[in-house]
Structure 1
Amino acid sequence: MAKPVLWVTRQLTDPVMARARLDYQVIENRDDHVMTSEELIRASRDADAMLICHSEIYTKDVVAQLDPRLKMIANHSVGTDHCDLQALADAGICVTNTPDVLSDATAEIAMLLMLGAARRAYEGDHMVRTGIWHDWAPKMMNGFQITGKRLGIVGMGRVGQVVAERARGFDMEIHYHNRSRLPASVEKGAKFHSELESLLSEVDVVSLNCPASAENINLMNAKRFTQMKAGSILVNTARGALVDEDALLDALNSGHVRAAGLDCFKNEPGGNPSFSDIPQIFMLPHIGSATDDTRAAMGFRALDNLDAFFSGKEPRDKVN
């Protein structure tokens, strides 16, 4: 029996590509560019499945033009907000994601952003690199100490739970807002807030770890920023769509929000140019899962789902 044809839309880690070539007839995007809608539509004519990343966008209009040959899309990501899942299901295309395997790496970045924002990492780095660090003073570069402070986690799923565990190492008091309360064995003493407003007013750091579902678009808006405790910090390692960026700028410029640590933005790649003028923002280019171990694990999880599908089983991580 001929191997299924698999279109891999980005260059994945070497071990993942090597495994893919063993089990599939692989078509590769060799220069690793972000494929356009037209390219995705054309690619569907040649493939039984596609292994894609968050950079490939499958809107309802794109899905309507996909070739019937395409039967599966395996995401190399946890988030699926770039895919119209209902349209893909209606077209008979199975969609999977890669949960579990990137929680540790993303939680590490959340802690890096929290510390970087709180301790003014961008400003300090800039001082040393540009040669403007000439002396020491008791009030120079004083930041916000997170040890013993209150951390509010919005979305206590896999990543949120690991963030909580890492933050406990800093003796932080954990609060969380979730669609439903977790069992006591998972909470581990964390305080549950059924209403987001309650959490925002009590904590010193807010970490966004929830999906960018339709109801969560601009979750952090002007009203919500005013509800945050004065002088608190925002951290976002989830999706840029969760934050009204103009409202965040206003909150930072007013001083009500002390600082922000951001790994994701509404416009990617590139981010928000207005953020570059704000030293209180510590930014990274959406690298929450960017470790060798995690990116390999994500690729292998996607291939596991593909293997299950083509062996006649339901993939473990089917999302539609």
Structure 2
Amino acid sequence: MSELYITRTLPDKVLRAAEAHFNVTLRAQTTPLKKGEMRAALVLYDVVIPTLGDMFAADVFEGMEDARCRLLANFGVGYNHIDVAAARAAGIAVTNTPGAVTDATADIALMLMLMSARRAAEGERLVRAGKWTGWHPTQMLGLHLGGKTCGIVGMGRIGQAIARRAHFGLGMDVIYHNRSAKSLDMPARQVGSLEELLGAADCVVLAVPGGSETRHLIGAKELSAMRPHAHLINIARGDVIEEAALIAALESGKIGGAGLDVYEKEPQVPEALRKLQNVTLLPHLGTAALDVREEMGLMAVENAIAHIQGRALINPV
């Protein structure tokens, strides 16, 4: 049997599927791999299933042209933690798990939109602290999203799933900014620039891929273009937002609020961000549902099986 290395514990259903086709080595830790561990894995195993945080940078692949591993079957749709060009140069293919994460991630975006706009996390903290004094007509007034404009940055699978929920579920008008035109099955209008979207939306949702092209896509300039009551939602990658600029905008009230599932230096969340009342903070829950994680894992395993059987990879990147 071929040797498979899995860098984090995965659901039992996924492990059983992997063990039916491979000699599986499962790493017990839940922390990202260190450089030495990554290089050792490339030498010792036929296939590696890495995930978010396992930083397979270019230097990890140096001298690995003859390494045993020929496939990184990434667990997750995002693969900006892998230098795909460097892997390819070393003769190592990379796959991911698109589709499996779409609806679950879109659900988290919708939840953050509602939590931020309606001040849900702030309200829960108030109740838990025993400081709620009862209902009154002007208590914790938030932003009603029905009839408002949702601006989506990045109109791929996840962006489109968010748009459907925002329009058909909440009754929002949808505008979007994307590098290319999209043929959509819902009412949505493409705008010409990011600045135009930021200036028109009541709720801005970031759904772009991670990587150098989108790092700090949203900084002080972009935040200043947003409407003062608008909310910023990020379910993409943490470094799409310049975190220090976001903190400044929230502290000064330049925007109405924010909802974050990802962070620039995850899992570190700045104390200044944690202290703010007008931001909802989640611990990267985007795909955190058992059936979703099972589907992701099984997709990664299927890519690994296709590789060892000499078939075309299912989800090459």
CA drift at 1:256: 1.7
Give the distance between the partners of 1:271 and 1:294, measured in 2 at CA. 26
Q: CA deviation at 1:215?
A: 1.9
Indicate conservation of the 8 Å contact 1:79/1:211, yes or no: yes
Verify: 1:181 aligned to 2:181, yes or no. yes
Range 258-267 or range 248-257, more displaced: 248-257
How far off is 1:19 after superposition? 0.6
Deviates more, 1:6-15 or 1:39-48: 39-48
Give the structure 1 partner of residue 92 of structure 2. 93
Provide the residue aligned with 2:199 in structure 1: 201
Query: Structure 1 residue aligned with 2:36, among 35, 38, 59?
Result: 38
Instruction: Give 2:315's aligned amino acid.
Output: D
The 10-residue stretch of structure 1 (78-87 or 186-195) with the greater mean CA deviation from structure 2: 186-195
Q: Which runs of 5+ in 2 are unaligned?
A: none
| Deviation at residue 312 of structure 1 after TM alignment | 1.2
Q: Which amino acid aligns with 2:178?
A: N
1:219 alignment partner in structure 2 = 217
Distance in 1 (CA, whole Å) between partners of 2:68 and 2:262 is: 34
Report the TM-score, using the length of structure 1 for normalisation: 0.96
Report the residue type matching 1:90 in the other structure. Answer: A
Distance 1:272 1:114 in 2: 21
* TM-aligned CA distance change 1:270 to 1:65, over 3 Å: farther
Query: Residue in 2 aligned with 1:108?
Result: 107
Residue in structure 2 matched with residue 81 of structure 1 by the alignment: 80
Aligned to 1:172: 172
SS at match of 2:48: strand
Amino acid aligned to 1:199: L
Deviations along 1:2-43, one digit per CA (max 9) or x if unpaired, are x11000000001100111011001011124343211112122
Residue 65 of structure 1 deviates from its aligned partner by 5.2
CA distance in structure 1 between the partners assigned to 2:192 and 2:304 by the alignment: 38
Deviations 1:101-130 (A, max 9, x none): 111000010011111111111211111111
SS at match of 1:217: coil
Please say if 1:274 is aligned against 2:272. yes
TM-score normalised by the chain length of structure 2: 0.96
- 1:19 maps to what in 2? 17
Query: Conserved in 2, the CA contact under 8 Å of 1:74 and 1:97?
Result: yes
Q: State the partner residue of 2:45.
A: 47
Match of 1:279, SS state, is coil
Q: Secondary structure at the match of 1:45?
A: helix
What is the match of residue 127 of structure 1? Answer: 126
The residue identity in structure 2 corresponding to 1:174 is V
State the superposition RMSD in angstroms: 1.2
* TM-aligned CA deviation for residue 241 of structure 1: 1.0
Paired letter, 1:220: I
Note the residue ranges of structure 1 that are not aligned, 5 or more in a row.
none
Counterparts of 2:156 and 2:271, CA distance in 1? 31
Q: State the Cα deviation string for residues 277-310 of structure 1 (Å, max 9, x = none).
A: 1110101011101101110010011111111111
Report the 3-state secondary structure (helix = DSSP H, G, I; strand = E; otherwise coil) of the residue aligned with 1:215: coil
Give the structure 1 partner of residue 138 of structure 2: 139
| CA distance in structure 2 between the aligned counterparts of 1:235 and 1:187, rounded to whole angstroms | 23
Task: Tell me the residue number matched to 1:310.
Answer: 308
One of 283, 288, 293 as aligned partner of 2:291:
293
